[in-house]
Amino acid sequence: MPEEKDINLKIIPPAKYLPMAVLSVAALLVVFLAAASYTKILEGRYAGQSSQYKNTISVSGEGKVFAKPDIGQVSLSVISDALTVAAAQKDNTDKMNKITKAIKDLGVKEEDLKTTNYSVSPRYQYSAGKSIIIGYEVTQTLEVKIRDLAKVGDILDKATGVGANQVGSLSFTFDDPEKLNSEARQKAIDNAKTKARDLAKSLGVSLGKVVSFSESTGGMPVPMYSSAKEALGMGGGAIPDIQTGQNEIDISVSISY
C-alpha cells in the first residue's frame, strides 16, 4: 500500500484581482480620513458661536431717551347718511372737500394728506323678522400729518366745523426716529457693557468676544381721541388746547460674552 503524504494547498488569487483589493482598502481609508476632516471643519465652523460655548456671561442693558415730538398725526372722518347712495356720496364728498381746503389753508401740504378709507354700506331697519334697506351710509377717512404742532388745535377746530364728525387716532411722534433710536441703543449697550465688566471682575474671569446680541424696543403710549366731541370737549365749539408732552424711546439689549 503506498505511503500517504500530507499535502498543503495554497490558493493564490489571480493577479488580476490584486489591484481591486488594493483599491478597496484605499477607498475605505479615504472615506475615513474625509469623515475625520469634516468633523474638524464643523468644529471650526461653530467656533465663536454661543451654541458651542459652555461658559458664557449674559447681561442686559436699557437705554432711554426723552424727546418732544415734532409730528402730529390724526384721522378725520366724514360719515354721511342719505336715502340713496348718490345723495350720501355727494354729501360726503362736499364735506371732505371743505375739510381738505380748510386744513390746506392752515399750511398742511398735499403730500401730508392721505385717504385711508372710503366705504359705502346700506342701512337696515328690522321689523317682523325682515330687514328693509332704509338708506345708505358713506364713510371717508383722511389721514393728516401735521408738522406745525402749534396748529393742531386749529386744524381740529376747522375740520370739525366744516363737516368732520369723527376724529380718531390723534398721536404725536417723530418724523425721523432713527437718530433717537440710535442714541437709546448706545445707552443700552453701554449699560450692558458696564454690567458685564463688573460681573467679570467679581467672578475673576476675563470677557471674551460677543457671541450673541438681541434688541427690543418700547415706548410710552400717546393720547388718542375717538370722536369729535372728545377732541373739542363735551361742550364743543372751543379750540382744543393740545399738549404734545414728551415721548419716551426705550431700547433694551441682551449681550452674551
**pLDDT value for 228:** 45
Q: Are 149 and 72 in contact (CB under 8 A)?
A: yes
Q: What is the pLDDT along the chain (257 residues), one digit of tens a residue?
A: 555 555 554 555 555 554 555 555 555 655 555 555 544 444 444 444 544 556 889 999 999 999 999 999 999 999 999 999 999 999 999 999 999 999 999 999 999 999 999 999 999 999 888 999 999 999 999 999 999 999 999 999 999 999 999 998 899 999 889 999 999 999 999 999 999 999 999 999 999 999 999 999 876 544 444 444 445 543 455 677 778 888 999 999 999 99
For residue 164, the SS3 value is: coil
Q: How many residues are listed for the chain in this entry?
A: 257
Can you say how many angstroms the Cα of residue 144 is from the centroid of all Cα atoms in its chain? 22
In the block, cell 484605499 appears at 26
All structural domains of the chain, each given as residue ranges with its CATH number in brackets, are: 70-175+222-242 (3.30.70.2970)
For residue 256, give the C-alpha cell.
452674551
- Helix, strand or coil, per DSSP, at residue 118: strand
The neighbouring-strand residues paired with 218 are: 250
Contacts of 244 (CB under 8 A, 6+ apart): 68, 69, 72, 149, 152, 172
Distance CA 81, CA 79 (A): 7
